[in-house]
Chains A and B, each alone.
Chain A
Amino acid sequence: MQSTARSVLDSAEFRRLVAGRWRISLALTALLFILYYGYIILIATNRQLVSRPVSGATTTGILLAAGVIAGAWVLTAAYVVWANRQYDPAVAELKARAEKP
């Protein structure tokens, strides 16, 4: 391996980049777990709440199901916004450094 590539690999910036990426990924995965498994466990344990009508016949459960779907998309979008704004510029900079002859 070229010495410039090696120095990037061992640099503090690169380690920060990788650690930051997994921090965001795992935090968003945790939120996804809370959103979806929270919903499932809520249905299993508190049927009354889920069955309560909010307006007319519409129940809380219907809103919650729609909320889980919308929430899953929002989390995905949040990751993309973070990656486009924070991750990609950092990658571009390190990549340029590693590929410098």
Chain B
Amino acid sequence: MQTSLGSPTLSAIVSFLVIVLLTLAVTYWAARRTRSTREFYAAGRSIKPFQNGLALAGDYMSAASFLGIAGLVALRGYDGMIYATGWLVGWPALMFLIAEPLRNLGKFTFADVVAFRLRQVPVRIAAAFGGILTLIFYVLAQMVGAGNLITLMFGLSYNWAVIIVGGVMLAYVLFGGMIATTWVQIIKAILLLFGVTLLTLLVLAKFQFSPGQLYAAVAARYGQAALEPGGLVSDPIDAVSLGLALMFGLLGLPHILMRFYTVPDARAARSSVLYATGFIGYFYLIIPIVGFGASALVGREIIRKVDSGGNMAAPLVAELLGGTSFLGFIAAVAFATILAVVAGLTLAGASALSHDIFTHAIKKGHASEHEQIRVARIATVIFGLVAVVLGILFKGQNVAFMVGLAFAIAASGNFPALLLSIVWSRFNTAGAVCSIVTGALLAVVLIVLSPTIWVDLLHHPAAIFPLRNPAIVSMPVGFLTGIIASLATREPEAEARFHDEKLRTYLGIGAE
């Protein structure tokens, strides 16, 4: 088939401009409402649960999951579906284990919860370290992905693509703070869910709206093997390790955790997770249909020729079924997806720098509102520039593993300290610092020694660490170091405060 992918079409440019203008208008509106830190970091705690559910879904559903999973299903069949399920199962765990205590104990960042009854300076620095390390790998993967995708879809040069993403996203965060970022996520989530739903319906319409007929067509073309597990889960330990990283990594992602402070109370936090789980579950349920549709209707050969990773499977099937104008819309939606995710990451990174490091570690909590807002904006620019520079430096590099790494760091460094600080009275400053630093660094070291980097990127003959994802080792080590370091030291004040803190953790008395 002929494709107009890679050359800017009128519909792509119009859809793209409409989305950018709409989101910038929202930012202008939000900027006039952003005066205090409470508004900049937490949207004034005025977001409704349904809105926050959409915004959480917007933060989580990245271009990698939209284009990547559709491509994986198109090229590798059922394995893509196994992967898709892993992306959802963190949400119930987030709800059961930390959502409500997180909302009750914190103010703007997850470090607020970990540091609640511990010594501020060391814990804030450690938590900001774990948080920023997670965000840097996550944002790097997003930026390189953005550069590649926009080049593929609009024919724009890679560097310009990265700079445009950086510039527009900075405008949202810098001027509109969390209010603008939240509404950008909501707009993006609605566009993405609408676009993918339409695409799914167009695919199913070709098969009399029967998924069974779609699967039959895939099997007729690529054999029954396309509907059976392939190589992804050949090693159960590796598969469980990846599953642990995806599930518990979510519970340590700073930009997701930060969203819980935008709603008024724990009950609203709870409802927003239910909405988010619904939207995200629906998304991962229908994405494989798009992928299978692409392999049955477009064909694997053509998908692979356009992009060897399969990322263009969804845009190609959109063009085949809906013409150039629909392709333009889908391309613009993918672009909006990247913008929104990067904006969320940048706001979280800026909060770690300004709220945790500047306000609490440097100023010991004594900074004026005016000063805090100013530093938050400076931190936003710093984090945004770092994201753009890294995006340009890593041009052409294989960064697909970095999202997995970000989840592994979050699961091994941030999550154990967060959970232990909520549930264990003996948990103390030494435990928190050791747990975060050891968990995060071990995840990084093990990934470097794993087949993912050691063999695939550095071309050594054999890996030193056998698993592709380290979470099954690094997460338990994160918990163990936290427990051992806490037991080895005493911090009577922290233990005494744990009991009192329970009124806030469970009843919300004194919650922000």
Contacts and interface: CB of A to CB of B under 8 A. Distances in A.
A64 to B, nearest CB: 9
- The 10 tightest CB contacts between A and B, nearest first, are A44-B236, A57-B219, A51-B228, A25-B96, A57-B216, A57-B215, A65-B81, A36-B89, A76-B92, A76-B277
A65 B93 contact: no
Nearest to A73: B281
Most chain B beta-carbon contacts within 10 A, residue among A43, A69, A98: A69
A51 B243 CA distance: 21
Interface residues of A, number: 55
A44 B89 CA distance: 18
Contacts of B274: 76-77, 80
Contacts of A83: 100, 267, 270
A69 B96 CA distance: 16
Contact of A56 (B215, B502, B506): B215
A17 B285 CA distance: 36
A86 interface: no
Interface in A79-101: 79-80, 83-84, 88, 91, 94-95, 98-99
Nearest to B234: A44
B271 interface: yes
Interface of A: 1, 5, 8-9, 14, 17-18, 21-22, 24-26, 28-29, 32, 35-37, 39-41, 43-45, 47, 50-51, 53, 55-59, 61-62, 65-66, 68-70, 72-73, 75-77, 79-80, 83-84, 88, 91, 94-95, 98-99
A39 B247 CA distance: 14
A40 B96 contact: no
A32 B78 contact: no
Given A57-B220, A61-B81, A76-B91, 5 more contacts: A9-B502, A14-B502, A32-B92, A44-B235, A72-B88
Contacts of A35: 89
A89 to B, nearest CB: 12
Contacts of B78: 59, 61-62, 65
Given A40-B239, A57-B215, A80-B270, A73 B278 contact: yes
Nearest to A45: B236
Contacts of B500: 1, 9
B444 interface: no
Interface of B: 78, 81-82, 84-86, 88-89, 91-93, 95-97, 100, 211-213, 215-216, 218-220, 224, 227-229, 233-236, 239-240, 243, 247, 267, 270-271, 273-274, 277-278, 281, 284-285, 288, 423, 499-500, 502-503, 506-509
24 contacts: A14-B506, A18-B506, A25-B97, A26-B96, A29-B93, A29-B96, A32-B93, A32-B96, A35-B89, A40-B240, A41-B240, A47-B229, A51-B227, A55-B212, A57-B212, A57-B220, A57-B227, A58-B215, A58-B227, A65-B81, A65-B82, A65-B288, A76-B92, A95-B509
B228 A39 contact: no
Nearest to B86: A36
Contacts of B218: 57
Contacts, number: 157
A5 B212 contact: no
A77 B86 CA distance: 19
A75 B93 CA distance: 10
A40 B233 contact: yes
B212 A58 contact: yes
B508 A66 contact: no
Given A25-B97, A61-B229, A98-B509, A56 B277 contact: no
Given A72-B88, A75-B92, A44 B233 contact: yes
A32 to B, nearest CB: 5
Contacts of B235: 44
Nearest to B505: A18
B211 A58 contact: yes
A43 B240 contact: no
A99 B61 CA distance: 41
Contacts of A98: 503, 507, 509
A1 B496 CA distance: 13
A66 B281 CA distance: 9
Contacts of B499: 9
B277 A72 contact: yes
Nearest to A74: B92
Contacts of A24: 96
Contacts of A39: 85
A53 B502 contact: no
Given A29-B96, A76-B277, A95-B508, A65 B229 contact: no
B41 to A, nearest CB: 26
B260 to A, nearest CB: 15
B424 to A, nearest CB: 12
A28 B499 CA distance: 25
A101 to B, nearest CB: 14
A40 B506 contact: no
Given A51-B229, A80-B274, A72 B281 contact: yes
Contacts of A45: 236
B296 to A, nearest CB: 11
